[in-house]
A and B are shown apart, each in its own frame.
Chain A
Amino acid sequence: MSAPGRTTRRIVSIFAKGNVDIRDSLLWSRVGGVLEWNGINEVLRERHSGVVARIKHETCTRLDLIPLPGETPLAPPESVARRLPSGSHPIDRQHRTAMFDAPVDAVVLSLQSAATNALVRHRRDGWLLLPDELESWDAESRAYLASECEYAGLAPIETVLDRLARLVAAIEERLQAHVLVYNLSPLTPGERTHCWLGAEDSIGLRVQRLNLGLADLSARLGFSIVDVDRIVACAGADRLKVDLIHLTAEGWQLVAEEVVRILDERGCFDVRPDT
């Protein structure tokens, strides 16, 4: 029972594993130091005033690198993590997650890392690494990378989807949490290709294939898709998109509203006896 005069609040705990799309929609979007969107709780305040989202956010090097419970990932040794710059993806955390450390109501993931993040592989030991913000690395670090590692590229789509299927199963089994996965809008403003003769898949085509695979996986496993592709298409990419990944503040708000809609549909805001 609540104390007199105190408002009863339902706290929804969310583990959000992803990068800019996850952070800018659920937490905040800041451009040039100016706060442009203040995250999912803005939507909740308006639509579900008794509910607050408590979000634990973790960046995601790539979906297929998230270790499942009991797995020992093949990660770069500590000495490498110490000597190389990290960028937004600290090397010692690239193969780790706190996802399974505590119970949550929902886990939110995104296809973004699988769509865009190309990795390097250590030639001798085989571990993978995301050399984030490589353009800012010093010459010595670059030389190490060139001599010790080789380009491993993007993950095959089948590998990503297989790994995601196992991850969803593990989340549902270990955490009994709802799983939401963001897809991506494949549009890059201004890009217009009518013939792909001799060309490899563009990032836009790769996103379309991933989105289609994600829908198929959702049909089999029952997790929810936050359909960023549809949200952008409905309002218009000219209005909502800045580049392949970044949306305008209005775009992030619409994505956050869709997350709230899905969580509500899944019963995450229902009042429980213990609240």
Chain B
Amino acid sequence: MNYMILSMIVGIALWTILLTLIVFKLKKRIEILGKMLVHGIRKSYIKALEARKPRRKRYIVFEVISDETITASELNHTLREEAEKLLGILGLSDITLKLIDFDEKLKRGIIRTDNYSKYIVLALLGLIRNIGNKKVLLIPLKTTGTIKKARQLIRST
């Protein structure tokens, strides 16, 4: 008898977890369906909304090629300056751009951005040819989704 009650409780718990998961997975779709019914929004618009990817963090690992020593503050300043020149203040406010880490010995660094502004940041790296009066070339090595992997990549040869 006890065994039956226990198995019923376990069964109900499992079903509850499963239903919660399904509801969470379909939450956005249910919301969109609600909007469609209430406001009468077009189906194509809803499809476009569904196709839109969420904003995710991206870490670009890069290497500086230069004969002279480059400091992190110099690099950070140049990145901001060039981005402002290229995109303007409004454009700069739309993108995510932050120098996370820069190893002055290995001349490698990490820039945090997101999946939407990744190509803008990559183009920006290509357009930077001078830091102060020093000639440089910034080569992207890899783009990762986690900072842990990015830090590993800096140390790897």
- The answer to whether A and B come from one shared complex is no
**Which chain A residues have a beta carbon within 8 Å of chain B's beta carbons?**
none
**Which chain B residues have a beta carbon within 8 Å of chain A's beta carbons?**
none
